Amino acid sequence: MLDLKNLTIEKAREGMTKGEFTSADLVSAYLKNINKKNKESNSFLEVFPDILEQAKRADEMIQKGEGKELTGIPFAVKDNILIKGKIASAASKILENYVATYDAFVIKKLKESGAVFVGRTNMDEFAMGSSTQTSAFGVARNPIDPTRVPGGSSGGSAAAVASDMALVALGTETCGSVRQPASFCGLVGLKPTYGAVSRSGIIAMGNSLDQVSPLGKNVRDVEIIFNAIRGKDVMDATSLDSSLATEGVGGGNTIGIPWHLFESGVDAEVMENFNASVEKLKKAGYKIVDIDLPYSKYSLAVYYIIMPAEVSTNLSRFDGMRYGLSKEGENVSDVYKKTRSAGFGEETRRRIILGTFVLSHGYYDAYYNKAWRVRNAITLEFKNIFKQVDFVLTPTTPTPAFKIGEKMDDPVAMYLCDIFSAPANIAGIPALALPSGLTKGGLPLSIQFIVDHFKENNLFQIGKKFEEML
């Protein structure tokens, strides 16, 4: 019997290479768990009917000696990443029956490696949310405590891995959408450097922020996935040469902590755990210094101006005329109105309205342009701080996983869940969230390391060392 709980990519790959089990065996074990658990967790919106065929093709690759690091490895895939011939709905009624006509760049890369796609996972509608409660297809539940959220927007991907319904998963990050679910579900989540991974074939939310991001049970799994999916793509002008991601290997040992960013509003157990984590790092020989990031405290405010503006522009394509849901109307304007009213959920409509407002005549300079000036200041602030320290350390989230329904009537409280995530997204720099302990009630806690552009390898190095301290 396969020990899915302790399985890693390298262990799975070794087992398949030695003939101890096949990819088909592995997939069957995960399918068994899906059949047991998914009805309650609602992690998967669809399990692909060709999953065993994919596994058999992977087994053939291995038998021929053509197997690669990810051959036969079962992936859960967030519902906003296109897989040719599969539905990609972004958890929205407006795209409920949309079938992708091409593969996302990251999917092409994984197909070439022989990975197996288990199914598409639940998410906040168009990735707008921090709890997977805005999905048009029902809430996803945290496998550690089903009365709580798994985080968002990549909550379905995180819950699938945490409940052993897939070995690893792909999510996307716009502002903490992988790191926060990783924190809530006891996983490792990476937000790569902006441009390190192509956005081609991702249903866009915020073009200047979105990044495909891996989720796994340990740092090494996340590292393997990142190395497989990164790289320059001619279909994405913002993507960059993957060789840049090898810069700065070796790291350094100075960790800066911006204590002023979490003087208040942070759960007591989160702070207690964070302080304990800092002590472990000190004992391991890392130098801990206090740092000041005066502009970074505005990251969330900047995000909630720039992101809705980009949402307003991106979602204008969903008009009932080209693809997706279409409602009949008396004229074009009426079709738009009826289609969008029926197709978009409340949070999506809220952000479209907010984005349209900040881009409107008379407010563009007051809000949007000012937000970009502050964004540039935040980016420069991090560039300068990384001349003094090698890593920046914060809690991943201000609280553990919260109850389903707890924050739905207070959008601002929900937005504040991303307060520690926002700086890395705004500056376009990489960050790694990893488990750091449990609350007294058994809920996962997490810390995050942030580094300079293209220093992902330093994140993996310190992340693996921290895992050994637990």
91: which residues sit within 8 A by CB, 6+ positions away? 45, 79, 80, 122, 123, 124, 125, 126, 134, 135, 136, 137
The Cα–Cα gap between 336 and 327 comes to 8
- Identified catalytic residue from 23, 37, 43, 78: 78
28 is catalytic: no
Integer Rg of the chain from CA: 21
The Cα–Cα gap between 131 and 405 comes to 9
Q: Measure CA of the first residue to CA of the last residue in the chain; give whole Å.
A: 28
In Å, what is the CA distance from 85 to each residue of 74, 101, 104? 18, 6, 12
CA-based nearest residue to 62, from 108, 27, 28, 13: 13
78 is catalytic: yes
The answer to whether residues 159 and 66 touch, using CB atoms and an 8 Å cutoff, is no
177 is catalytic: yes
**Residue 406: strand, helix, or coil:** coil
- Identified catalytic residue from 43, 131, 157, 177: 177
- Identified catalytic residue from 23, 43, 113, 153: 153
In Å, what is the CA distance from 226 to each residue of 97, 123, 450? 30, 21, 16
In one letter, which amino acid is 190? L
Catalytic residues: 78, 153, 177
